[in-house]
Chain A
Amino acid sequence: MELNAHIPDGPIEKKWDKHRFDLKLVNPANKRKYKVIVVGSGLAGGAAAASLAELGYEVECYCYQDSPRRAHSIAAQGGINAAKNYRNDGDSVRRLFYDTIKGGDFRAREANVHRLAEVSNNIIDQCVAQGVPFAREYGGLLDNRSFGGAQVSRTFYARGQTGQQLLLGAYQALERQIGLGAVQMFPRREMLEVIVVDGVAKGIVTRDMVSGKIESHVADAVCLATGGYGNVFYLSTNAKGCNSSAIWRAYKQGAAFANPCYTQIHPTCIPVTGDHQSKLTLMSESLRNDGRIWVPKRKEDCGKPADQIPEEDRDYYLERKYPSFGNLAPRDISSRAAKQVCDEGRGVGGTGRGVYLDFDASIKRLGQPKIEERYGNLFEMYERITDENPYKVPMRIYPASHYAMGGLWVDYNLMSTIPGLFVLGEANFSDHGANRLGASALMQGLADGYFVIPYTIGGYLAGIKPGTRIKVDDPAVTAAQQTVTDRVKRLFAINGKQTPTHFYRELGKVMWEYSGMGRNEAGLKKALELIPQIREEFWKNLCIPGTGEEVNQSLEMAGRVADFLELGELLVLDALNRRESCGAHFREEWQTEEGEALRDDENFCHVAAWEFKGDGNAPVRHTEQLSFESLHLATRNYK
Chain B
Amino acid sequence: MSKHINLTLHVWRQKNAKCDGKFVEYKAEQVSPDMSFLEMLDVVNEGLISKGEDPITFDHDCREGICGTCSMVINGRPHGPKERTTTCQLHMRSFKDGDSITIEPWRAEAFPVIRDLMVDRSALDRIIAAGGFVSVPTGSPQDANALPVPKENAEMAMDAAACIGCGACVAACPNASAMLFLSAKISHLGLLPQGQPERYSRVRDMVAQMDAEAFGTCTNHGECEIACPKGIKLENIARMNRDFIKASLTYRPAIVGTGGG
Indicate yes or no for A touching B, C-beta below 8 A. yes
Chain A residues with CB under 8 Å of chain B are 47, 50-51, 54, 65-70, 72, 74-75, 84, 86, 122, 124-131, 133-142, 158-159, 161, 163-165, 168, 171-173, 175-176, 178-179, 185, 187, 210, 237, 239-241, 273-274, 276-279, 281-282, 350, 380-381, 384-385, 387, 450-451, 454, 497, 499, 501-502, 543-546, 550-551, 553-554
**Given A139-B148, A279-B64, A545-B55, 11 further pairs, Cβ under 8 A:** A130-B134, A135-B158, A136-B150, A159-B158, A164-B162, A273-B34, A276-B39, A282-B64, A384-B89, A502-B46, A550-B15
Q: Mark B50-63, 1 if CB is under 8 A from A, else 0.
A: 10111101011111
Determine if B122 and A66 form an interchain contact, defined as CB atoms under 8 angstroms apart: yes
Of all chain A residues, the one with the shortest Cβ separation from B142 is A125
* Chain B hits for A554, CB < 8 A: 49, 55
Determine if B140 and A122 form an interchain contact, defined as CB atoms under 8 angstroms apart: yes
Determine if B128 and A161 form an interchain contact, defined as CB atoms under 8 angstroms apart: no
Separation of A619 and B140 alpha carbons in the complex (Å): 44
Does B77 count as interface, using CB distance less than 8 angstroms?
A: no
Determine if B52 and A543 form an interchain contact, defined as CB atoms under 8 angstroms apart: yes
Can you offer 22 A-B residue contacts whose CB atoms are under 8 A? Answer: A47-B138, A66-B121, A70-B165, A86-B145, A125-B141, A131-B133, A131-B134, A142-B144, A161-B66, A164-B162, A173-B133, A276-B43, A278-B38, A281-B64, A384-B65, A385-B89, A385-B91, A387-B93, A543-B52, A545-B54, A545-B55, A553-B57
Determine if A175 and B61 form an interchain contact, defined as CB atoms under 8 angstroms apart: no
> Shortest beta-carbon distance, A382 to chain B, in Å?
11
Determine if A497 and B50 form an interchain contact, defined as CB atoms under 8 angstroms apart: yes
Of all chain B residues, the one with the shortest Cβ separation from A77 is B66
* Chain A hits for B115, CB < 8 A: 550-551
> Shortest beta-carbon distance, A74 to chain B, in Å?
5
Lowest 8 CB-CB distances: which A-B pairs, in order? A140-B148, A179-B129, A172-B133, A129-B141, A128-B144, A51-B138, A133-B158, A175-B129
Chain B residues with CB under 8 Å of chain A are 1, 15-16, 32, 34-36, 38-40, 42-43, 46, 48-50, 52-55, 57, 59-69, 82, 84-85, 89, 91, 93, 114-115, 118, 120-122, 124-126, 128-145, 147-151, 154, 157-158, 161-162, 164-165, 188-189, 192, 194-195
Determine if B32 and A179 form an interchain contact, defined as CB atoms under 8 angstroms apart: no
User: With A179-B129, A545-B52 given, is the CB distance from A70 to B158 under 8 Å?
Assistant: no
User: With A74-B66, A278-B39, A381-B64 given, is the CB distance from A131 to B145 under 8 Å?
Assistant: no
Looking at B63, B64, B195, which has the most chain A CB atoms within 10 Å of its CB? B64
Determine if A50 and B125 form an interchain contact, defined as CB atoms under 8 angstroms apart: no
Of all chain B residues, the one with the shortest Cβ separation from A178 is B129
Separation of A54 and B136 alpha carbons in the complex (Å): 10
User: With A173-B133, A239-B62, A545-B52 given, is the CB distance from A131 to B189 under 8 Å?
Assistant: yes
User: With A54-B138, A122-B140 given, is the CB distance from A140 to B151 under 8 Å?
Assistant: yes
Determine if B67 and A70 form an interchain contact, defined as CB atoms under 8 angstroms apart: yes
> Shortest beta-carbon distance, A235 to chain B, in Å?
11
User: With A172-B132, A178-B129, A546-B54 given, is the CB distance from A384 to B194 under 8 Å?
Assistant: no
* Chain A hits for B65, CB < 8 A: 381, 384
User: With A545-B52, A554-B55 given, is the CB distance from A278 to B36 under 8 Å?
Assistant: yes
> Shortest beta-carbon distance, B27 to chain A, in Å?
16
User: With A72-B67, A129-B136 given, is the CB distance from A67 to B121 under 8 Å?
Assistant: yes
Determine if A499 and B133 form an interchain contact, defined as CB atoms under 8 angstroms apart: no
> Shortest beta-carbon distance, B155 to chain A, in Å?
8
* Chain A hits for B82, CB < 8 A: 384
Separation of A237 and B16 alpha carbons in the complex (Å): 31
Determine if B142 and A75 form an interchain contact, defined as CB atoms under 8 angstroms apart: no
Determine if A125 and B143 form an interchain contact, defined as CB atoms under 8 angstroms apart: yes
Of all chain B residues, the one with the shortest Cβ separation from A180 is B129
> Shortest beta-carbon distance, B111 to chain A, in Å?
11
* Chain B hits for A499, CB < 8 A: 46, 49-50
Determine if B128 and A171 form an interchain contact, defined as CB atoms under 8 angstroms apart: yes
Determine if A68 and B64 form an interchain contact, defined as CB atoms under 8 angstroms apart: no
Separation of A415 and B32 alpha carbons in the complex (Å): 48
> Shortest beta-carbon distance, B122 to chain A, in Å?
7
Separation of A124 and B154 alpha carbons in the complex (Å): 16
User: With A66-B59, A74-B66, A553-B55 given, is the CB distance from A276 to B42 under 8 Å?
Assistant: yes
Of all chain A residues, the one with the shortest Cβ separation from B135 is A176
Of all chain B residues, the one with the shortest Cβ separation from A502 is B46
CB < 8 Å: which of A47, A70, A387, A546 contacts B68?
Answer: A70
CB < 8 Å: which of B64, B138, B151 contacts A126?
Answer: B138
* Chain A hits for B157, CB < 8 A: 131, 133
Separation of A171 and B67 alpha carbons in the complex (Å): 13
* Chain A hits for B133, CB < 8 A: 130-131, 172-173, 175-176
Separation of A217 and B56 alpha carbons in the complex (Å): 31
User: With A67-B121, A274-B32, A501-B46 given, is the CB distance from A75 to B62 under 8 Å?
Assistant: yes
User: With A137-B151, A240-B60 given, is the CB distance from A129 to B122 under 8 Å?
Assistant: no
* Chain A hits for B145, CB < 8 A: 84, 86, 141-142
Determine if B39 and A140 form an interchain contact, defined as CB atoms under 8 angstroms apart: no
